[in-house]
Amino acid sequence: MVIVITGVTRGLGRALAEEFIAAGHTVVGAGRSGEGVMDLRFSHGAPQDFSVVDVTQMPKVELWAERVLGMHGPPDFLINNAALMNNPAPLWQVPVAEFDKLMAVNVGGVANVVRAFVPAMVKRGQGVIVNVSSGWGRSVSSGVAPYCASKWAIEGLTKALAEELPAGMAAVPLNPGVIDTDMLRQCWSAEAAKYPKAEVWAKAAAPFILGLGPKQNGQSVTVGAFEG
């Protein structure tokens, strides 16, 4: 299968990519880190395919998608994983620029990638879009209002998208659970170490994601073992 993943250079995205590749799938990934993309390229040759892409820039996303679709065809799975976390603070103390950048990546970036890839998937009549949500897309916590807002938006966006897709396709908001990543450490510091590493998570999450399909269209799902 061909699996497109954004935010592929670290955390959950990198861990998923490694698991999918080990299972024999073709991973096409994008990330903001040039160093991270080069590391993936050196680690995994063709048919694996990694590019530096800013998902907030629609022209760049369109160019990336055009090349990917030409080389690999429509993906079987499109995983929108790229996201930012705000520095924990009351909402009124979060700088405008920080809030706007988070929304541009976490919500706008998902919409851009959907615009670029989903028409080809719809034309083929198959494929699953997995938009990575959060427990904070279904609940809230102080200090992370911008992140909560973005993930609640992902839940709604994905469920509406699910109603727009033809039969045989699916759009699914996925709560990965509580995982020890740089993003969690940004919120919880050393407390994050109590939770499983991304590499451990991916061993359960990768097959779970590949099991998603039309029956889960529009359903909020969670990688159960990591619900926290």
Task: Say which CATH number the domain at 171 has.
Answer: 3.40.50.720
Task: Please tell me the total count of domains within the chain.
Answer: 1
pTM, two decimals, is: 0.93
For residues 49 and 40, give the distance between their C-alpha atoms in angstroms, rounded to a whole number.
Answer: 9
* 127 CA to centre of own chain: 15
Banded model confidence at residue 224, pLDDT cuts 50, 70, 90: confident
61 contacts: CB under 8 Å, gap ≥ 6: 53, 55, 112, 113, 115, 116
Q: Considering 20, 77, 117, 147, which one is annotated as catalytic?
A: 147
Instruction: Extract the tokens encoding 104.
Output: 């541009």
Look at residue 184 and tell me whether its pLDDT is greater than 80: no
Full residue range of the structural domain in which residue 171 is found = 2-226
Known catalytic residue at 195: no
Q: What is the pLDDT of residues 54-70, one digit of tens each?
A: 999 999 999 999 999 99
